[in-house]
Structure 1
């Protein structure tokens, strides 16, 4: 699978045709028909088999990643993905950033721009911080952390240059 343009999380969602992941049942409903369609055992022609192998691997990786992310959620609050629109729409100021709502904590949502390596974090109270030059691996670890707030406090805050962008509502 090629390097994702926004984040590994959004790339895994896209691999399964998902924009919202609320439950493992929803994840399974997206996964099963795709893996059934692209399982290499269903494609015996050499060229078809190679394509199916690549697709099945991407589908399995996406399922593993997203099921682990769901397992880390302690509540039934969904991980909702939405493209940031504009400051007035309460998204991130960078419209190219996919906003990912995280499990309940003092952080509402996070987003990452892989082109600039900017991490956006929206806290309760709608204050948005932009952390500059944050590696993609740190963003991915944040998504997998059991507590986004603790992870930001221990692994991001004071380690990366930061600016307060806005306070909405």
Structure 2
């Protein structure tokens, strides 16, 4: 083989490998923090000027703005308002669609959606009878199943809340 052909093939191979690596790096998802993500902002209370009398504190409702949190052993017990388990798989297009809707449009006040990894939580899947990712399970404060909804065909927060709330 001609030396020029070998050099051209080597350069093309380096360019192709570089393009594949660049594409893979650009598609790597950004890691999310495990801290709760409030989906609606609560305005800060107005500050009083020095010397002004302070008004009595308003009684806050027990339910808060909707939250989206990662599953943990204590997530249900710590949930503000109605806990709903979201059986999510990172490879599932519909799961990504629902998650984007949650992050973009938020959740109703008093609802905590708890993201459960579908692939690694087989025991929870069995407990709640989950056989498909995009399943949402409303549970009571003790973790008992109240009802469930599969959002596979309609992956929107509105469809989930219409079905479960």
Q: TM-score, normalised by structure 2?
A: 0.31
Q: With structure 1 as the length reference, what TM-score do the two structures score?
A: 0.31
Structure holding more helix per residue:
1
Which of the two has higher C-alpha Rg? 2
Highest RCO, 1 vs 2 (Cα 8 Å, sep ≥ 6): 2
